[in-house]
Amino acid sequence: MTIYNLGSINYDYFYHLPNLLRAGETLAAHEYRRGMGGKGANMSVAASRGAARVMHIGLVGKDGLWAKNKLLEYGVDTRHIASGSTTGHAVIMIDPFGENSIVIHPGANREITKDQIGSALREASAGDILLMQNETNQQAYTAKLAKELGLKVIYAAAPFEAKSVADILPYIDILVLNEIEAEQLESSSGQNLQSLRLEHIFVTLGSRGCKHFDKLKDKTAHFDAIPVEAVDTTGAGDTFTGYLVAGLDRGLSVEQSVLLATRASAIMVQRHGTSDVIPDLKDIEDEFGPQPT
């Protein structure tokens, strides 16, 4: 099957600081790097490295051809990445413990057209997956169209925005969010997660692992994280989601998919960077051995 990912593509600017900035504070970075990122691009790369077929739907500026070529190099189908105004970018500040603060300018990521989406999804088949995050426009339109075409809709609710999530909740099959986003969703909707009419909900808990609400079987499970020394948590959640979706797309069980995603994100937090350093299946096997079946 194919994963169609309506997702952002960014320049990522990394600044390593002695601490995360406080109001009114000025700091000198002791290290600076630039790479490819955006939650969408990160998830496309992770899903592709998890052995899924991925079609990315997005926009870059004329200065962003390099990012499109990078995605192609990483195995992502880029035929539906078009050209817009300016490539989006993110300023990522990282402290000595690997924690981060991020500022995003969306740029062309918010200029995607309905015609572009329709052209991409015309190639889709029932049973394919639509993956989305909250860094692009046209999400509700795309989710509705995908459901009409028989696709399974998976939504990573980040960055969290109450209206965006509310608009597409009727079309979502699987929801992925972190602990803070889960609290924000419950507060904005007035509902607890268990009451939402979705097939599956995954709540990532950082170093404490992941919680899974299985609405089909009416059960809740907790999966432990793998203890590692984190140097940079940027992109770890995107890596988890991309590998999780890849596993489900390949027909792995929820348990197998979560284990694969957990192992990938454990390697990811030990690396500096985003899309360019997402581990592949060989990295995971070299580190942890073959995945249990």
State the catalytic residues: 238
The owner of tokens 């994100």 is 265
Instruction: Judge if the upstream peptide bond of residue 292 is cis by omega within 30 degrees of 0.
Output: no
CA distances to 37, 66, 239, 282, 291 from 276, in Å:
8, 12, 11, 16, 24
- At a CB cut-off of 8 Å and minimum separation 6, what does 260 contact? 50, 243, 244, 246, 247, 252, 284, 291
Contact in structure between 117 and 6 (CB atoms under 8 Å): yes
| CA pair distance 246, 39, nearest whole angstrom | 15
The Cα–Cα gap between 247 and 84 comes to 32
What gap in Å lies between CA 42 and CA 197, rounded to an integer? 28
